[in-house]
Chain A
Amino acid sequence: MVDRNRLLIISMIILGIIGVLGTYLAYNTPNSPQNGHITDMIGRNVAVPGEINRVASLSYSVTVQIFMLAPKKMIGWDSNRTEAANRYMPPQYSKLPVMGGGKKDANYESYLSQNPDIVFVGHGGSAEDVNRIQQKFGNLPLLDVEGDNNVTNITPSIKFMGTVLQEQNKSEELISFYNKVLQEVKPIANSIPDSEKKRVYYARDPTGLMTNPAGASHTQLIELCGGINVAQVPITKGSVGVSMEQVIKWNPDVIIASDSSFYNNIYSDPVWQNIKAVKEKQVYLVPNSPFNWFESPPGANVIIGIPWTAKVLYPERYTALDLKNLTKEFYSNFYHYNLTDEEVSNILISSGLKEF
């Protein structure tokens, strides 16, 4: 009898504790101060907190935009950064933690452990895919961004990011820089007759025998600046391997290289000497700090690559383009790094440009 009473009292105490805990947790879930809803770029309606101070992204291209628009709100990188890429990155940002992004294989717990207010995912594919990732994050709002990897029409994604991050001024600034660059480059690029268009090979890899074919988002800058990607192949996505004979057959006018060891060897490698671009010393190396200028990722970071590619392809047509000042402006406004004259010359000279 006594035992039964004791059991009753204990179970009531336990129930009471659970009840109190439950109410406490219910009031403390991150979702409770629901101050607004945002429709993300794939059409999902997501509840977000009123104040957004800590953000992260699962995709590199969106991480770059966060860094450009609201670096102080960024809580970490999605992937590792190299020593070389950190050269022109203020140390307070290069030291941020790496959380391990990705779409199917992200390290969700490491994201959650940093207590973000919201998390972004770039070019998510379908709402179903995005919802699948959202499930892993529970109540933490996940917002999808589309077009963040499309350099020919990147404005909507920048606008969206500016709104969510409450940095509309900064995003307008970036959009107007983008439009300014396009206005300087596109009319001239469009006026080039097909017969005078430069034929360009994008050489990836230490061997230079991988490329991104025409149609891939990685090589949009070639067409944007009035060039022709020589790799017109059946595949129009991702990276493909090609044979040396094929490159000799294509005989490109210009080679844009992604790998510095390849770039440093190409003028001494006997096999490459028969190619027009090598004979005429038209090989260029993509600048890579703090972010790649050409692709890797295709995103807002390649905006500065537009005038660079224009200068690489047609230095004689783009004499009015002041790449040096554009670079300084872009770095100081969006990469939060004030380049000295010497540094900007160094970037441009080591990319192979003679006049800029």
Chain B
Amino acid sequence: MYKFNISEKLGAHRISVTILLLIPLIILFFASFLIGRYPISPPDVITVFISKILPVQSTLPPSLETVIFQIRLPRILAAMLVGASLSIAGAAFQGLFRNPLVAPDKLGVTAGAGFGAALAIILSLGAVMIQIAAFIGGLIAVTLTYLLSRTFKGTSMLTLVLTGIAVESFFAAMIALSKYVADPYLQLPTIVFWLLGSLASVNNQDLLMMGPPIIIGIIILLMVRWRINVLSMGEEEAQTMGVDTKKLQAIIIISCTVISASAVSICGIIGWIGLVIPHVARMIVGPDHKVLLPASIILGAFFLLLIDDISRTITSVEIPLGILTAIIGAPFFLYLLGKSKEVWS
């Protein structure tokens, strides 16, 4: 009884930590509107915002409004959405597979999406089709992993991960093949840039198209988050506690796949976040998935928004996100690793 009380108190404390984490995210969200390559002074940004809400006549040129609402707004929202998606998918997968080294791409979703995109680039299908092809490619790869692993004798999660690794490397090879046959002057740079990840071309339509599946997936994961705790104790234990593990596993895998395929189709392949942000969250709020998943969402959104702000402002040339996430993320993560107590025993 005494013990229960403590964990109860601790739980409440952790939830308040999660709410505290929201504050820097909100500050960064508003600050992100103030920075960019196109020079707009902070008062002008506020004026544009006010004139959008209130019927105030502004004397500012219309290009300011375009920059803020058509360029910065979708980019900021997309960065938060993608960061949140990848890290919640990572946290859910790490719980599901009971393995801290699993990232959302382990079932083949990013490799499949990358191949879909590369194929669309080679066939010169245009920007929208590249996105759709990436999304479909991601879904196909994970479906393939899932179906193949079911035909094997062992049905454990390990078989699934191993099948995923095989499917992932198959699609990675297909990406390499498409790079090989692509026009080296016109298509190859596009493929390479896409694979490194960028939010430069995100617009409001992309958000309308990919936002709903991401948000629905995140809501579903949040709804089942306490059950992931049960799963992470082991499949048999979970079954004795009355959880339909097969169904739950399928729900988690489908949700994670849909949100990470949507995220990848918006911005290309961004590594690191799905693997590492869940660990950072775990260092802050502990391993309970009830708080870990919301904390991962907030931290992932914050981290990718910060990275994208740097990527779009630091030079006149865009720095691919896949490069920056690791350059900035790796030292930061190592620092945290040194500071924190052991969380994975």
Instruction: Give the B-binding residues of A (Cβ under 8 A).
Output: 60, 79-80, 82, 84, 102, 105, 204-207, 209-210, 213, 218, 231-235, 238-246, 248-249, 258-262, 265, 269-271, 273-274, 292, 295-297
**If A206-B126, A240-B317 touch, does A248 touch B63 (CB 8 Å cutoff)?**
yes
- Which A residues are in CB contact (< 8 Å) with B39? 249
How far is A246 from B214 in the complex, measured between Cα atoms in Å?
Answer: 29
Q: Which of B41-49, B136-144, B198-206, B244-252 contacts A (4 or more CB under 8 A)?
A: B198-206
CA distance A272 to B318 in the complex (A): 18
Closest A residue to B66 using CB positions: A274
Contact of A243 (CB < 8 Å), options: B62, B186, B203, B312: B312
Given A79-B183, A233-B315, A233-B316: A209 in contact with B38 (beta carbons within 8 A): no
Q: How many Å lie between the Cα of A350 and that of B84 in the bound state?
A: 44
Known: A235-B317, A271-B70, A274-B62. A244 touches B127 (CB 8 A): no
In the complex, besides A213-B317, A242-B316, A246-B316, 6 extra interface pairs with C-beta distance below 8 angstroms are: A82-B183, A102-B184, A240-B318, A241-B198, A242-B200, A297-B185
Residue on B nearest A260 in the bound complex, by CB: B124
Query: A280 CA to B127 CA in the complex, in Å?
Result: 24
A241-B320, A243-B312 given; A258·B193 CB < 8 A: no
Give the most central of A82, A204, A245, A265: most B CB within 10 Å: A245
| Chain A residue nearest in CB terms to B190 | A205
Complex alpha-carbon distance, A100 and B71, angstroms: 41
Mask of B184-225 contacts with A, CB within 8 angstroms, 1/0: 111001100100001011010000000000000000000000
Task: Mark B294-315 against chain A: 1 for CB-CB distance below 8 A, else 0.
Answer: 0000000000000000001001
A-B contact count (CB 8 A): 116
Given contact pairs A271-B66, A274-B66, A210 touches B184 in the complex (Cβ within 8 A): no
Cβ contact of A245, chosen from B67, B193, B198, B203, cutoff 8 A: B67
Interface residue B269 (Cβ < 8 Å from any Cβ of A): no
| Contact A261/B126 with A79-B184, A240-B317, A249-B38 known, Cβ cut-off 8 Å | yes
Docked complex: B249-272 residues within 8 A CB-CB of A: none
Given contacts A244-B71, A246-B37, A210 and B189 within 8 Å (CB-CB): yes
Say yes or no: is B36 at the interface (Cβ < 8 Å to chain A).
yes
The distance in angstroms between the C-alpha atoms of A273 and B69, with both chains bound, is: 14
Given contacts A233-B317, A241-B198, A241-B318, are A204 and B63 in contact (CB under 8 A)? no
Given contacts A207-B127, A238-B189, A258-B186, contact A243 B66 (CB under 8 A): no
Q: Which residues of A contact B66 (CB under 8 A)?
A: 248, 270-271, 273-274
Q: Is the CB of A204 within 8 A of B38?
A: no
Q: A241-B200, A243-B312 are in contact. Are A204 and B189 (CB under 8 A)?
A: yes
Residue from A210, A218, A246, A292 in contact with B190 in the complex, judged by beta carbons closer than 8 Å? A210
Count of B residues near A, CB < 8 Å?
A: 36
Chain B residues in 8 Å Cβ range of A84: 124
Interface residues of B in 115-130 (CB under 8 A from A): 121, 124-127, 130
Can you report 22 A-B residue pairs in the complex whose CB atoms are below 8 A from each other? A84-B124, A204-B190, A205-B189, A207-B127, A210-B193, A231-B316, A233-B315, A234-B316, A234-B317, A235-B317, A238-B189, A240-B317, A243-B37, A244-B71, A245-B67, A246-B37, A248-B63, A248-B66, A265-B126, A270-B66, A271-B66, A292-B185
CA distance A295 to B124 in the complex (A): 17
Q: Are A245 and B185 in contact (CB under 8 A)?
A: no
The verdict on A209 contacting B37 (CB below 8 Å), with A204-B189, A273-B66, A296-B183 known, is: no
Given contacts A241-B198, A245-B67, contact A206 B130 (CB under 8 A): yes
Whether a CB of chain A sits under 8 angstroms from the CB of B181 is yes
A249 partner residues in chain B, CB cutoff 8 A = 37-39
Measured CB to CB, the nearest residue on chain B to A100 is B180
CB neighbours of A248 from chain B (8 A): 38, 63, 66-67, 71
Complex CA distance for A312 and B121, rounded to whole angstroms: 27
B185 touches A296 (CB 8 A): yes
Give Cα A75–Cα B66 distance, bound, in whole angstroms: 53
Which residues in B have their C-beta under 8 angstroms from that of A246?
37-38, 316
CA distance in complex: A269, B315 (Å): 25
0/1 per residue, B136-180, Cβ < 8 Å to A? 000000000000000000000000000000000000000000001
The reply to whether B189 and A209 form a contact with Cβ atoms under 8 Å apart is no
| Residues in A whose Cβ lies below 8 Å from that of B70 | 270-271
B residues within 8 A CB of A218? 185
Task: Identify the 3 closest CB pairs spanning chains A and B, nearest first.
Answer: A261-B126, A296-B185, A241-B318
Q: Within the complex, what minimum Cβ distance (angstroms) separates A51 from chain B?
A: 32
Using Cβ atoms and an 8 Å threshold, which residues of chain B touch A296? 183, 185-186
Q: A206-B127, A242-B200, A246-B316 are in contact. Are A295 and B185 (CB under 8 A)?
A: yes
CB closest chain-A residue, reference B308: A243
Question: Complex Cα distance A240/B37, Å?
Answer: 16
Of chain B, the residue at the smallest CB distance from A212 is B189
Residues of B within 8 A of A60 (CB): 184-185
CA distance A81 to B316 in the complex (A): 34
B37, B190, B203: which contacts A206 (Cβ < 8 A)?
Answer: B190
Residues in B with CB closer than 8 Å to A239 are 189, 193
Residue on A nearest B318 in the bound complex, by CB? A241
Minimum CB distance partner of A258 in chain B:
B186
Considering the chains assembled together, what is the distance between the CA atoms of A292 and B186 in angstroms? 10
